Amino acid sequence: MAWMRGILNKRAISAQIQPHSSPCFYRFFSKSSTYVVKVGIPEFLNGIGKGLETHVAKLDSEIGDFQKLLVTRTLKLKKLGVPCKHRKLILKYSHKYRLGLWRPRSEPVKS
C-alpha cells in the first residue's frame, strides 16, 4: 500500500511541474524564392538540373503529361534509355514534389 501511495504521489508531483518553455526562434528571409506557377516536364527537369535537360524532348514525347511522369516507375524510364543516375534523380525529386517538399524555381540556381 505504501508503494502505491508513492507512485501516485510522484505522478501528482510530475503533473504539477510544467516543462521549461523556451522562446521560439523563427527564420525570416528578406527575399522569398520564386516558383514556377505551371510545372511541366521541361520545367521540372530544368529545375532539377544536373544534366537532366538532355532528356526533356524524349520524356516529353514518350510520357507527354507531367502527372504521368510523377507516377512513372524506374523500369519505364530504363526502357526509354534514361541512365541510372538520372532515373534516381527523377524519382527522388518526383517523390519530393508529390509530398510538397520541393518545387522547381522560375529562375535557375547559379552554380
CATH number of the CATH domain containing 81: 1.10.150.50
Residue 19 within a domain: no
Coil, strand or helix: which one is 97? helix
Residue 104 within a domain: no
Residue 49 within a domain: yes
Which range of residues forms the domain containing residue 60?
Answer: 41-99
Residue 63 within a domain: yes
Distance, CA of 10 to CA of 46 (rounded, Å):
60
When divided into structural domains, the chain yields a total of 1
Residue 68 within a domain: yes
DSSP-assigned states of every residue in 6-66: HHHHHHHHHHHSPPPPPPP-----SSPPPB-SS--HHHHHHHH-TTGGGGHHHHHHHT--H
Helix crossing, 41-48 with 84-99: angle to 10°? 110
Residue 75 within a domain: yes
To the nearest whole percent, how much of the chain has pLDDT over 90? 54
Residue 56 within a domain: yes
Residue 28 within a domain: no
Residue 105 confidence (pLDDT): 82
Q: pTM of the predicted model, to two decimals?
A: 0.65
Distance, CA of 66 to CA of 70 (rounded, Å):
6
Q: Could you report the per-residue pLDDT of 79-99, keeping only the tens digit for each? A: 999 999 999 999 999 999 999
